[in-house]
Amino acid sequence: MPRQRLSILVALKDDFERERLTELLSRTASRVMAAPDAAAALKRFRAETPDVTLVDMHMTGPLGKSLVTHMRTESETAPLIVLYDQYNPKQLLEVMEQNADAFLQSPVEPERLLVALRRCARAVFLRRKLEQADHDLRRLLDAFPSMALLENGGRVTYTNRRLANYLGYEDHEAMTADNAAPGDFMERLNGDIYEGGDESWIKTVTDDNLDVDHIIHLENPANPTGRTAAFSVNYSSLPSSELRMFSFHDVSALEDERLRLADEASTDPLTKALNRRSFLATLAQRMAVAGNLSLIMFDIDHFKSINDTFGHDAGDNVLRELAALVRENIRETDALARWGGEEFMVMLPASDYPEQKKPPNGCAKPSVKPSLPTCPDK
């Protein structure tokens, strides 16, 4: 076996066997360390993090019988080759439960040791390749021009630097140290208030068979106005991997324009009340989910005479000020609509029919006469 870039810890209680195996392994590994007792072995295991550890099942010292357990607690993946003097099924079973990679009887035959070492070395070299590939992928993601993250099984495994910076962190490691995730900063998903953590929004995006655009709103701690930004989210699966990459593209300007157009389409431009079409759609939605619901319809008496006497601009001002006055005196859950001309409609959810005959809560007669400067009293 050619000499490999491999570090090995030989933790054996027998001096002769420890020296023999240390000399043997030095021919194939770039670095071999030795430890005569359990305390020294655990200390070196923690400090040196060897690639492979050869450990005696019956090491001396207070930690002797539990050394393998302590090592496995320190690292769940570090390869362990366990040596035993006598066949003891109970003790071997206890060690096997610690997920040892190989068992060899002492004194060890060199060929059997080298076979076990090759198997462990392959696992070490594969892990290094995966770690290097992961490192390269993360560097590539940091150079990506947009905010992006990596996900595996509903869990975010890496947040690139642009996304971390947007969320107020220096990098992914800083977010991890603060136990923060992108889902913690999400306010809306496709227009709905979001409170689902990371796994829920990822599932919504990846389970969409229609492949529609998904819009999320993310808090921006760096923005002093506290205004959230809108992002279109796309994802793609990485070849030969369970990883998926999600990219975020800022569509705040487009989203603002969409909302502006939607607002224009649903409101009366003069009074800013709902128009008839939007009011009827809102009424249908409320009736589908609400219990009691009441409607108030009213108009302005002699409105034509206002237009004839003071002009249409004055009439427009009366309509605007009346709508503003009503809005100030109804609940947030109520809806005001301009039904047509000088006719208005108010929808009051959770209101009983008999209560229609009374002024609705918050809509009592004003204590002062509203001022309509365009229409002086006559």
| Catalytic residue positions, numbered | 342
Tokens of 132: 């290097």
- Report DSSP state, residue 77: S
CA dist 33 and 44 (Å) reads: 8
Q: Virtual CA dihedral for 11, 15, 18, 19, nearest 10 degrees? A: 140
- Report DSSP state, residue 227: -
CA dist 44 and 48 (Å) reads: 5
* CB burial string 41-74: b at 16+ within 10 A, e below: bbebbeeeebbbbbbbbbbeeebbeebbeebbee
CA dist 334 and 170 (Å) reads: 45
Cβ proximity of 75 and 124 under 8 Å: no
Report H helices in the chain. Answer: 15-25, 38-48, 67-74, 89-96, 110-142, 161-166, 172-177, 197-206, 252-266, 276-289, 303-310, 312-328
CA dist 152 and 280 (Å) reads: 45
Tokens of 272: 């800013």
Cβ proximity of 266 and 278 under 8 Å: yes
